[in-house]
Structure 1
Amino acid sequence: MDVIELKKEIIEYSKTIGIDKIGFASADPFVELKERLRQQQQLGYQSGFEEPDIEKRTNPSLLLCEAKSIISIALAYPSKMKNAPRSTKEARRGIFCRASWGRDYHDILRERLKKLEDFILAKVPNAKVKSMVDTGELADRAVAERAGIGWSGKNCSIITPEFGSYVYLGEMITTIPFPPDVPIENRCGTCTRCIEACPTGALVQGGQLNSQRCIAFLTQTKGFLADEFRDKIGNRLYGCDTCQTVCPENKGKDFHLHPEMEPDPEVVKPLLKPLLHITNREFKEKFGLISGSWRGKKPIQRNAILALAHYKDKTAIPDLVQLLKEDSRPVIRGTAAWALGKIGDDSVIPVLEQAQQNEKEEEVLREIEKGLQMLYAQRKK
């Protein structure tokens, strides 16, 4: 088997199936990454969504016996939306981050990787392969960096010269010893725009993220959001793009190469008030195909309430009162109570005081008290 010729054939084939960039890396253990991950774990900076076993995240041979190399792929996604609806005073809208535009990228990348697997196994039937996307054990960015797809930016994203950081990543471990590609030189230099722009200070320093403070992570949590983050969420329903949009390497980067990645404006920039009363079935029908729906409707609804509070949208008061009185979920009742304190006036005080009498959940009672204190303070002014 001529692995150099096979590599060329794979690169050519990848272009025909909608892979925008491909790179090859050795399957040696990621020694430096292991130490960084241990440090992140000790500092409590991990999100909890990652593979917990650091050995599996850094040693490809534990995932595929006799692993020799890893193929890394990247697909570019759009950074600009065509015909984006405007958020108006009468009809406020939320936003899903760009990585949740179009069809769920996990499915798109798995389809590309499956085609690549089939092509390779047709050429080398006795080879073994194992593919993964995002939710797999390996760290996508570490693989992509080693394979020369891009460099690891200070914003903790892989930045490619061609597409900026607006790329989805996937990889395939294989028993074929492909010659590795050369990593790309880091071009971040002295720039610290992403660190300075992070709304919550989650970028501790260049290349180090405290996931527990990252808005992208916070929007996916299901409980009450800590007070310090509520005003920082803005109108974000899922994810955060700030550290990407301020990056000079992303200036002018907007690629529309894959029709299935094109956003439906009404899905990724939806009206906020209708979200408050959406049923599970309606939620699945409207949002089920995008990656931002994976945690279900509760985090999205909680974030919609916070967005309405951010806008101080008084037209939402009747909706929030209804949630406070009728919703069975403490997080939604409590967040609605807090939002009423943020948005409302004296007319809301009796509503919160009545809810205080009826409520049994301690966490919700604390939120009602916060709401009342905001309104009492406003009355004094």
Structure 2
Amino acid sequence: MTGAQLKQEIIAYSKSIGIDKIGFASADPFDELKERLKTQQELGYQSGFEESDIEKRTNPELLLPGAKTIIAVALAYPSKMKNPPQSTKKERRGLFARASWGTDYHDVLRDRLRKLEAFLLSKVPEAKVSSMVDTGALSDRAVAERAGIGWSGKNTMTITPEFGSYVYLGELITNILIEPDTPIEDGCGDCNLCVDACPTGALEQGGQLNANKCIAFLTQTKGFLKDEYRAKLGNRLYGCDTCQLVCPKNKRVDFHNHPEMEPDPEVVKPKLVPLLKISNREFKEKFGPIAGSWRGKKPIQRNAILALAHYKDQSAVDDLIDLVEQDPRPVIRGTSAWALGKIGGERAGFALKLAKKRENDEEVQAEIDKGLKMLENEA
């Protein structure tokens, strides 16, 4: 079998297992990316979630000796929810970003890549293969760009001509030489909507993201959120879609190609108040299957508290008071205290004054003081 025949068979098989787009790239080092990553590191723009070794992120040979080809894949996910529940004054709701709708995309992509690995090995038994999704060392976006899946947009996401940026990416490295595809020309042009619309200014310029200011990153942190970002969170519980929603390339893009990616509206747009006291078991049962649960329940609960403060939801006051008085986690106690100050009212003020006498944690004390100050300003 020639390399061209193998390539066509891989493409045909990929379609049969539900891969929406596939591309082929050389496994040469990503030298240009290496320089960009060094700059990001020097500026302190990295989140800390990514692989810290820049060499591993940019040299496929370190991940698979003898690497010659990288096969990039993309799966399109939905951008619109069918029959979404409405957030009302009586029942405020939070929101998980679209990339967390449906079954955890890591599991979905790994399933497709495992099948692709098995197919390649059935055709070339002596082949070496290694696949990865998101959590791997390689930059999915750089691979996808080189393989012609899409271009890297100013919002730092891969934008495909067919599916916009609503795609999950993965890749398979092999020592088999397969003719590479041609990269796609950049399609952003003069458009700067995503940079202008970013709620926190995390897009320092087109194509450069300060991850530490990005709401998608901030929703996944476990500590106290800086004051300057709390109001920016809105009702987001996990992730942020603003830079995707304003992108013209995503206009009228909504694909429902994979049943496992369909969102459960009550999971991805849940009521906020019940989240405040959800048990570990209940959290795992309800949210465990989605990508947005990977950091555990504390960040989601903290974000729910901030969302209730954003709405100034009086119905949450009693539960927030309970958290201030009883929760063993300083971040939850302190954030609840701040939220009570933001929501306001006599009960909130009385509870914060009592908490100030009782609380021993310095950070929580600082949050109580912020809450009391907001109440004083309200009076």
Find the residue that maps to 1:316 and give its secondary structure. helix
Distance across 1 between alignment mates of 2:244 and 2:347: 42
Q: Which residue of 2 aligns with 1:49?
A: 49
Report the alpha carbon displacement of residue 350 of structure 1 after superposing the two structures with TM: 2.0
Q: Which residue of 2 aligns with 1:12?
A: 12
Q: CA RMSD in A?
A: 0.5
Distance across 2 between alignment mates of 1:137 and 1:233: 29
Distance across 2 between alignment mates of 1:84 and 1:144: 32
Q: Which residue of 2 aligns with 1:272?
A: 272
Equivalent residues in 2 for 1:176-191, closer than 5 Å = 176-191=176-191
TM-score (norm 1): 0.99
Distance across 2 between alignment mates of 1:299 and 1:65: 39
Find the residue that maps to 1:65 and give its secondary structure. coil
**Residue 102 of structure 2 corresponds to residue 99 of structure 1:** no
Counterpart amino acid of residue 253 in structure 1: V
Give deviations 1:204-232, integer Å, cap 9, x for gaps. 00000000000000000000000000000
**Residue 325 of structure 2 corresponds to residue 330 of structure 1:** no
Report the alpha carbon displacement of residue 377 of structure 1 after superposing the two structures with TM: 1.1
Equivalent residues in 2 for 1:216-365, closer than 5 Å = 216-365=216-365
Q: Which residue of 1 aligns with 2:85?
A: 85
Q: Which residue of 1 aligns with 2:61?
A: 61
Q: Which residue of 2 aligns with 1:119?
A: 119
Q: Which residue of 2 aligns with 1:156?
A: 156
Find the residue that maps to 2:233 and give its secondary structure. coil
Spell out structure 1 runs of 4+ moving beyond 3 A. Answer: none
Distance across 2 between alignment mates of 1:356 and 1:251: 50
Counterpart amino acid of residue 350 in structure 2: P
Report the alpha carbon displacement of residue 344 of structure 1 after superposing the two structures with TM: 1.5
Counterpart amino acid of residue 96 in structure 2: F
Distance across 1 between alignment mates of 2:223 and 2:327: 15
Report the alpha carbon displacement of residue 57 of structure 1 after superposing the two structures with TM: 0.1
Counterpart amino acid of residue 293 in structure 1: S
Distance across 2 between alignment mates of 1:20 and 1:187: 20
Distance across 2 between alignment mates of 1:76 and 1:158: 12
Calculate percent identity across the aligned residue pairs.
Answer: 73
Find the residue that maps to 2:277 and give its secondary structure. coil
Distance across 2 between alignment mates of 1:58 and 1:378: 53
Distance across 2 between alignment mates of 1:252 and 1:325: 48
Give deviations 1:78-127, integer Å, cap 9, x for gaps. 00000100000000000000000000000000000000000000000000
Find the residue that maps to 1:231 and give its secondary structure. helix
- Which runs of no fewer than 5 residues in structure 1 stay unpaired? none
Find the residue that maps to 1:130 and give its secondary structure. strand
Counterpart amino acid of residue 287 in structure 1: F
TM-score (norm 2): 1.00
Distance across 2 between alignment mates of 1:269 and 1:371: 28
Report the alpha carbon displacement of residue 264 of structure 1 after superposing the two structures with TM: 0.1
Q: Which residue of 2 aligns with 1:195?
A: 195
Counterpart amino acid of residue 76 in structure 2: A
Distance across 1 between alignment mates of 2:350 and 2:90: 26
Give deviations 1:170-205, integer Å, cap 9, x for gaps. 000000010000000001000000000000000000
Distance across 2 between alignment mates of 1:378 and 1:93: 26
Give deviations 1:270-294, integer Å, cap 9, x for gaps. 0000000000000000000000000
Give deviations 1:116-163, integer Å, cap 9, x for gaps. 000000000000000000000000000000000000000000000000
- Which runs of no fewer than 5 residues in structure 2 stay unpaired? none
Equivalent residues in 2 for 1:32-47, closer than 5 Å = 32-47=32-47
Find the residue that maps to 1:179 and give its secondary structure. coil
Distance across 2 between alignment mates of 1:288 and 1:263: 13
Report the alpha carbon displacement of residue 345 of structure 1 after superposing the two structures with TM: 1.7
